[in-house]
Every structure is written in structure tokens, then in C-alpha cells.
Amino acid sequence: MADYVIETRNMSRAFKGFLAVNDVDLKVRRGTIHALIGPNGAGKTTCFNLITKFLQPTAGSVLLEGRDITRTPPARVARLGMVRSFQISAIFPHLSVAQNLRVALQRKLGTSFHFWRSARSLAVLDDEVAALLDRVGLSAFAAIPAGELAYGRKRVLEIATTLALDPKVLLLDEPMAGMGAEDISRTAALIRKVAADRTVLMVEHNLSVVADLSDRITVLQRGRILAEGTYDQISTDPAVIEAYMGSGHG
């Protein structure tokens, strides 16, 4: 098995002549939490979109477990085991929390879009739904419409729905955005827990979270890799201090 679960080689993306991502070589080692950080406009989310195939690179390639997925559609990439979250929480607000997870779990049954199936046919998922709710700390909210959850718990529910797909690799785009201290602590603990048996790549602005969770950090600036290493290494790098930590975008 490849040492690197995700690898990009000379990955670039231009928009009308502007290079949003420029010649990025990223390597994410199996079983680690790898953070992608940088000032606003550094190209972090564009990198995410390129890796998960929501965008195609202008040049370069993307590999998943050594397999070239540069031209692979995003749905196929998800079936290969790489699943992502988004900056804006994506849930079904009028369905209950448990029903949101059941929809995600239906993929295993091959009935994701068979809405005419009886509720009884989905009862086999009840134990999995309950276990997943317990794992992410949402058991007490199972029957509540997802739209009524507090913001932090909506973000946790979104992470739970990605876990329902049983990914090998989980990409989290600013999972702590807009959260208060209590929700940040709860979500960080959840990420640490789910990373025990999978690889996590995350974009995150909260440097305290990055320092606490990350095994390795890649710093982007103007679409290029500026530095890479542990938090101790990058936090004392003069170029990083000037470009990122002194930028007011931490």
C-alpha cells in the first residue's frame, strides 16, 4: 500500500489566466491528520476542490492510494473512499437527525434513491444509525429536525453523514468555522476520535485547533506551498510568520 494516501504532482488551476493553485506537490501520509492552512485567498479550498474532483486541474495530477484520479468524477472518488465536507453545512433541515444519517447509510443497501421503499425495509439500518449517533454525541437529538440544531451540532451532523459513507480519507473544509469555544472543543475531540482509523486532511483557520490536532501542516501562500512540517516547525518559520501569522487572518 502507498505510504501517501493523497498525493498531488505539479497540481495547478488557472481561472481566466489567474493561477489560484500553482504547481502544488502535496503528500498526505496514511493514518495522519494533515492540515492545510494559509491566509484568505491562499488557494486552500481550491486545492480541496481539485483533490476531490469538483474542479479539474489545469495541469498536474492527483493520486489516491497511488491511483491516478485526475479525471475521475467526484461521485466515483467518493466511492473509492475519499469523502469531504463543505464550508457551508449540507444537511436536510426538515428531516430528523436520525433520518439524515439513515439517508447517508442507505448507500450500502443500494437504495439511496428508492423513496418508495417501505420504512420497514430500512429498519436494518437502525442499529447503525444509533451507533453513529452515539459516536458523534448526537443521541439526545435523534428525533429533532436537523434544521433546529444549534450551528455547532449541525456541523457535527455533517461530519457524521460523511462517516456514514465509511471513508478511508476524510477531507474537512473549515470544520470549526463559526463555532464557539464549547463546540470547537467537542468537534476537535470528534475529529481526533474518527482519525484513529482513517486519514484526515483539513482546511482550518483556527491555529489552536491546528496545533492541537495536526501531525503535519502545509502552508499555502498565493497558491503555492510556502512551508511544511510540524506545528513547532512552521510556527517558527520567518516566512510563515510574515505571510500567515502576521497577516491578521489567523
b/e per residue 117-144 (b: at least 16 CB within 10 A): eeeeebeebeeebeebbeebbbeebeee
| Backbone phi, psi, residue 89, to 5° | -60, 130
Quick: pLDDT tens for 113-146: 444 455 555 566 888 899 999 988 999 999 999 9
Provide the pLDDT for residue 140: 95
Quick: pLDDT tens for 205-240: 898 999 999 999 999 999 999 999 999 999 899 999
Q: What is the pTM of this model?
A: 0.86
CB 33 within 8 Å of CB 200:
yes
| Structural domains of the chain in order of their starting residue, each with its CATH number | 1-81+168-250 (3.40.50.300), 87-166 (no CATH)
Quick: pLDDT tens for 45-86: 999 999 999 999 999 999 999 999 999 998 899 889 999 886
| Backbone phi, psi, residue 14, to 5° | -110, 140
* Relative orientation angle of helices 151-163 and 97-105, to the nearest 10 degrees: 20
